[in-house]
Structure 1
Amino acid sequence: MDNLKRLELEYEGIRGTILDYTSEDNIVSFLDGLKKQIDIKDIEAITYYINEICAWYEKNIKQIYENEFVADPSAHDRNKKILEEIQAEFQMKKKIGKGEKKMYSKIFLSHNSFDKKYGDAIRNLLMSLGLRKEQLIYTAHPLHKIPAGNNIFEYLKQNIQKDIFVIFLWSNEYLKSAACLNEMGAAWIVESDYINMYTPDFDFNNPQYHNCAVDVRQMGVVLKNDEHCKMGMVELKQKLIQNLGLAIDEQEWIYSLDEFMKNIK
């Protein structure tokens, strides 16, 4: 079914479920705006309103589940899942129209083994998104390590391609490792998409950091137990859902995000 048609059919149900929970001005405005744009079939504006409604759900879904007066919280999960799926399809068509890569094939977590605590926390959160184990390269974990019989550098050379998404887990130890810096250079050469993450004690004034291949001015996530970190992981989730075609269990994600925040303390 065409995504616009699907949205037309689902709209009243989505609106009714949300308005049964709240009459908050912002969300009502977003719902009204979405309806107007559906009627005139403005995909760019539809995408904007879907983003805003999904962001509202990100902020409120936990409270919805904790509210004793909400008879069926899973209806909100269904709303959010439908909107995310439709949004992902719109984004995919837009990228194809521009001749861009359709999807990520894998995620590569580039790290120093010294920082396994943070690497494991990131790994667990990623898997709660519904990743298959072969979609993550994380050499510190037995389920995502380099296959037996493979040379680690040759394997990474073969797998670090433009359609892989890289998470650079920066630490003071990472900057001391020639192997880590080589991984970074390989990702930079093939122009892989990436995100910068930082251990809490990372020294941003280290001259070596500012001489690295990747753009260190790009906004990243410092792994502290605070709201900036939490929102950064929510934004990463949205990016990965869209570019890996994932369908998630919202309750599992909420639980896993809370566990992630505890584990990086």
Structure 2
Amino acid sequence: MRELKKLELEYEGIRSSISKYTSDGSVINFLDGLKEQLKKNDAEAISYYIEEICKWYDLNITEIHNNEFVINPSEHDRNKKILEEIRDSLKNSENVSEDKFMYSKILLSHSSSDTKYGDALRKLFIALGLKNEQLIYTSHPLNKILIGDNIFDYLKKNIQKDIFVIYLWSNEYLKSAACLNEMGATWIVESDYINIYTPDFDFNNTQYHNCAVDTKKMGIILKDDERCKIGMVELKNKLLERLGLTINEQEWVYHLDEFMKDIK
């Protein structure tokens, strides 16, 4: 969520201002707890700690302004305003239905043998305005796991409920233990997903029907036909809404046409 990203960027400044003003153990503990929950991306716990820090500011802001040793009280005013805005935004998001849940990243789960289709999807997502750091696609140098990182630790850290998963189903995908483990990890955290299929995928494969995800869920078959085009338009609309992106429709038509050529 954008609110949590903003909080991550502002956190150290907020903590520095408060810790310079007071050694009050309760608010320092709230700040420590907030930092820990930001790492875990636990929105409910984050909301709790923000609420407590806002309460502390409500009780202390007047004293902060009257304290002759506080050089820049407006800094605290800014902190208070930021925290209240994020608190209110998180509260509002709790009332938004699940199907309006915002995504932080996309995971393109695929077999390395299907990079032709993976590359075409990546190219289309980047055209939508997706940043490289918002896409996990291990077959591309700009989206792959960095050298020295453990792949399982990386996926464990990044696979959260707010990640959107694209399962690029192929006959090779079903033969890959790594792909099936990746799928299992996203299923456990209940990530939202879409099924996309290579043109030669065998829908009668019993292993496919025994997978954790819902194989009856409507998906997209990557064929050069109108059904594929319509499916990609629907996916585009969903991603623009859930990732907060925008694209000029004329540009989109061009990039979609290029995508259809790429998957031929």
TM-score under structure 1 length normalisation: 0.63
Corresponding letter in the other structure for 1:127: I
Alignment partner, residue 125 of structure 2: 126
Q: Which amino acid aligns with 1:158?
A: K
Per-residue deviation, 1:93:
10
Contact 1:129 1:249 in 2 (8 A): no
Distance in 2, matches of 1:94 and 1:220, equals 31
Cα drift, residue 154 of structure 1: 1.1
Which residue in the other structure is 1:215 paired with? 214
Unaligned runs of 5+ residues in structure 2 are: 1-89
CA distance in 2 between partners of 1:171 and 1:242 (Å): 28
Residues 95-110 of structure 1 correspond to what in structure 2 (within 5 A)? 96-98=94-96, 100=98, 102-110=101-109
Question: How many Å apart are 1:201 and its aligned residue?
Answer: 0.3
Calculate the aligned-residue CA RMSD, in Å: 1.8
Correspondence for 1:260: 259
Q: State the partner residue of 1:29.
A: none
The CA distance in 1 between the partners of 2:251 and 2:106, in whole Å, is 20
Taking the aligned partners of 1:231 and 1:142, their CA distance within structure 2 comes to 30
Residues 1-265 of structure 1 aligned to structure 2 (within 5 Å): 96-98=94-96, 100=98, 102-265=101-264
Q: Aligned partners of 1:242, 1:215: CA distance in 2, in Å?
A: 23
Instruction: Summarize the Cα distance change of 1:121–1:108 in structure 2 as closer, same or farther, 3 Å threshold.
Output: same
Deviation at 1:95, TM superposition (A): 5.6
**Aligned mates of 1:233, 1:102 — CA distance in 2:** 20
Report deviation, 1:250: 2.2
Q: Point out the more displaced range, 195-204 or 150-159.
A: 150-159
One-letter amino acid of the counterpart of residue 170, structure 1: W
Over 3 Å counting, the alpha-carbon distance change for 1:201 and 1:99 in structure 2 is closer
Of 244-253 and 161-170, more deviation after overlay is shown by 244-253
Identity %: 73
- Give the secondary structure class of the aligned counterpart of 2:166: strand
Please say if residues 96 and 102 of structure 1, whose CA atoms lie closer than 8 Å, have aligned partners that are also in contact. Answer: no
Q: Distance in 2 between matches of 1:160 and 1:254?
A: 31
- The one-letter amino acid of 1:97's match is N
Encode CA deviations 1:44-97: one digit per residue, 9 max, x unaligned.
Answer: xxxxxxxxxxxxxxxxxxxxxxxxxxxxxxxxxxxxxxxxxxxxxxxx998642
Q: State the AA in 1 paired with 2:105.
A: K
The Cα of 1:188 is off from its aligned counterpart by 0.3
What whole-Å deviation, never above 9, does each CA across 1:171-203 have from its counterpart, x for those lacking one? Answer: 000000000000000000000000000000000
Q: CA deviation at 1:102?
A: 4.4
**101-110 vs 127-136, which deviates more?**
101-110
Give, in whole Å, the separation in 1 of the partners of 2:224 and 2:137: 23
1:153 CA displacement: 1.3
Distance 2:245 2:131 in 1: 10
Q: 1:248 deviation in Å?
A: 1.2
Equivalents in 2 of 1:239, 1:93: separation in Å? 23
Larger radius of gyration: 2
Name the CA shift for 1:98/1:247 in 2 (closer, same or farther; >3 Å): closer
